Amino acid sequence: MSGHSKWATIKHKKAATDAKRGKQFTKIIKEITIAARSGGDPDGNPRLRTAINDAKNVSMPADNIKRAIMRGTGELEGGQIDEIMFEGYGPGGAAVLVAVATDNRNRTVSEIRHMFSKNGGNLGEQGSVAWMFERKSQIIIDAEKAPAEDELMALVLDAGADDLREEGGSWEILSAPEVHVQVLEAIQKAGIPTESAEIAMIPKNLMKLEGKTASGMLKLSEALEDHDDVQNVYSNFDVDEKELEAMA
């Protein structure tokens, strides 16, 4: 059983209610552009299909989506975007992965390194922590908006999902990346709203943090997520729910 931290659920809820739509649009546009490098037809490009679906879920105009695809396929000029996965350690030794999409690699490396050191962590070498995570489809659903557990489980397992589990008032559905789109489509066809749906790096095990160490790790996570070039932050830390509420 891979790990799921309460912070992951809170992060998704925060993103769902985030008023910074411009920043949300920027992240998705970058993902569409990168995905379209492998082909501009979403039917034959699952990553692009997922990115377009994310764009539609936040009501992105069709013209923005089209231009992002055309930049990716080379039909429109646009700055080169590099994908980088930073690996490092946060306060208390928690593993951290930072997925970045940037048009200025040197600047971003310097800024991410500074954020780690400023917040009690340190940037590691490539491969230093990635082995602690698994690449999975991760779909989060508000438990109050979901059907009964047996019904939801039958639905997602029939669609190809591997696991369904409850955490902090949300359901988390994990699947192989290859079946992400079909599981998501089955959920949507059933009229069940999702809080988030992505191909994520899921920790195999969790590290419990407390007190100042937990507070420091949360500050590092939030600082990284607020960076304009950061697409996603993944970590294996977990915090007791009562302590998390006290910090909030």
Tell me the pLDDT of the chain averaged across its residues: 87
Cα dihedral across residues 96, 194, 242, 224: positive or negative:
positive
17 pLDDT more than 70: no
Summarised one tens digit per residue, pLDDT across range 123-181 is: 999 999 999 999 999 999 988 999 999 999 999 999 999 999 887 788 999 999 989 98
Number of domains in the chain: 3
| Residues of the domain holding 159 | 133-203
Summarised one tens digit per residue, pLDDT across range 134-144 is: 999 999 998 89
**Is 98 within 8 Å of 230 (Cβ atoms)?**
yes
**Is 101 within 8 Å of 111 (Cβ atoms)?**
no
Report the pLDDT value the prediction gives residue 10, as an integer from 0 to 100: 67
Report the pLDDT value the prediction gives residue 46, as an integer from 0 to 100: 83
**Is 115 within 8 Å of 227 (Cβ atoms)?**
yes
- Global pTM? 0.84
- Measured CA to CA in angstroms, residue 143 lies from 123, 148, 166, 169, 193 at distances of 36, 9, 8, 5, 10
3 pLDDT more than 60: no
**Is 203 within 8 Å of 233 (Cβ atoms)?**
no
Summarised one tens digit per residue, pLDDT across range 64-91 is: 999 999 999 988 887 688 899 999 999 9
208 pLDDT more than 80: yes
103 and 221 both lie in a single domain: yes
53 pLDDT more than 60: yes
3-class SS at 162? coil
- Residue 248 falls inside a structural domain: no
- Residue 245 falls inside a structural domain: no
Q: Which position has the token pair 């047996």?
A: 150
Between CA 182 and CA 190 the distance in angstroms is 12
Between CA 159 and CA 109 the distance in angstroms is 40
3-class SS at 167? strand
CATH assignment at residue 138: 3.30.70.980
55 and 167 both lie in a single domain: no
Q: What is the mean pLDDT of residues 101-115?
A: 94
- Residue 246 falls inside a structural domain: no
Which residue would you say has higher pLDDT here, 33 or 196? Answer: 33
